[in-house]
Amino acid sequence: MQAEITTSRQRTWIKVAGAALLVAAAAIAYVSMSGGESAPPVTFTSITGDKVSMQDLRGKVVMVNFWATSCTTCVHEMPQMVDTYNKFKDKGLDFVAVAMSYDPPNYVLNFTETRKLPFKVALDPQGDIAKSFGDVKLTPTTYVIDKNGRIIKRYVGEPKFSELHALLDKALAA
């Protein structure tokens, strides 16, 4: 019986240590992608076939949001993302919602049309854009990029919108 308790405790500690390592890895990725690195020189292809590159977006503050129609947090945050875009678009904000490679294009198109998303929605069928942004796997993941094309913040999960809005105010005023 003592051996079972020890084994159970060991398994618990292994799980805790594993979770701590995941948190540490996420923190390292967060720091490395929010330290003012240049955004990757990708070109987005919208669901309508239009192409826009990060270079085309220079001079604007840009939000790049990786999401999926199967992600409940993504679906939950999307109305607030729309509100954020509408609030800041006239001040120079641009927004690209990048659907993950596993998201069926017809689902993305249906979601975009039924929710009347007002910003660019791009497909990433091979996952190349997600890889370019530090191999994004978790959704939602949102990057805020300044007017000079530098990453100033990365949010994994739904952002605190009051904090995001304050960051956008500051970035747009610069």
Query: Is the entire prediction scored with pTM above 0.85?
Result: no
Q: Are 69 and 155 in contact (CB under 8 A)?
A: no
The superfamily in CATH containing domain 37-173 is Glutaredoxin (3.40.30.10)
Q: Tens digit of pLDDT per residue, the chain (174 long)? A: 444 555 655 554 445 444 433 443 444 444 334 457 999 999 999 999 999 999 999 999 999 999 999 999 999 999 999 999 999 999 999 999 999 999 999 999 999 999 999 999 999 999 999 999 999 999 999 999 999 999 999 999 999 999 999 999 999 999
